[in-house]
Amino acid sequence: KPLAVDDTMVSLSIASIGYNSTENSINVLGNDTPGSDGYINKGLTMVNGTSSNASANSGAIRVERNGTLDTLDDVIMYSAPTNFSGVDTFKYTITDASGDASTVTVTLTVSGPITNVPTAVADSFSILTDATTSFDVLDNDTLGDDVVGSVLTIDATGITGSVSVVPGLLADASDDTLLYTPASGAIGVDTFSYTITDGNGDFSTATVTVNISAVVVAQSDKPEAVDD
């Protein structure tokens, strides 16, 4: 008799968001035994058919015959549902030439594409008192894969000076900068935070530290006579 063995936790890494357009070949017969009678022609079949809802989580499955009647070169082609990540299962049956059959379960772990999300990194700037200054806080940051539609926002809660976003020429946040003005006569440290949000809604927040120093007036080293 044929002996089919469960294929457990077959790992599929889907590289494209278009899951249903990407078929993955699974050699389920690799650990099975056809028995002494050998497989019948087209001996690999799906228990629940080969429709788009034949698996537990509606993955599309079909048997690829590879142009022959020989069961030994048959594989199962699997397409995950749109945007699906997780565990899916389906059952298949192998049948030998005398009609004996064996049915088992395939368990799939489907992982979607890895998307790079925004990463904001803390910044520190040094300026002189009463000096309005432009900060390119995005220079050391990563905007991620979904730059289109990205925005730069600020949280100025508790700030002593003032800060605003200066939009760049592009329709996204990639060339935006911040314009900071310290409070009049302020000397010391001021802080605020900003957030990068990409077109997919992923976001990252970082802190900006502004070190404000007094303007140093150079002293003349020449003698100066004063009227008596």
Question: pTM above the 0.75 mark?
Answer: no
At 24, the pLDDT band (50, 70, 90 cuts) reads confident
Higher pLDDT, 14 or 44: 44
CATH annotation of 7-110: 2.60.40
Domains 7-110 and 123-213 share a fold: yes
Residues 6+ apart with CB under 8 A from 181: 132, 133, 161, 162, 163
Architecture label for domain 123-213:
Sandwich (2.60)
Q: What is the mean pLDDT of the chain?
A: 84
- Relative to beta strand 60-64, strand 39-46 is unpaired
β-bridge mates for residue 212, sequence order = 127, 188
Percent of the chain exceeding pLDDT 90 equals 40
pLDDT above 80 for 175: yes
CA distances from 8 to 26, 74, 77, 108, 109 (A): 12, 19, 16, 7, 9
pLDDT above 80 for 71: yes
Annotated domain spans of the chain: 7-110, 123-213
Query: 125-137 burial string, b = 16+ CB within 10 Å, else e?
Result: bebeeeeebebeb
Q: What is the pLDDT of residue 121?
A: 96
Higher pLDDT, 111 or 120: 120
At 119, the pLDDT band (50, 70, 90 cuts) reads very high
pLDDT above 90 for 180: yes
Beta strand segments in the chain, E:
7-13, 24-26, 39-46, 60-64, 75-79, 86-96, 101-111, 123-128, 133-135, 151-155, 162-166, 177-181, 188-197, 203-213
Q: What is the pLDDT of residue 15?
A: 43
Q: What is the pLDDT of residue 221?
A: 64
Section 172-192 average pLDDT: 96
pLDDT above 60 for 110: yes
pLDDT digit string, tens, across residues 37-61: 888 888 888 887 666 556 777 778 8
pLDDT above 60 for 79: yes
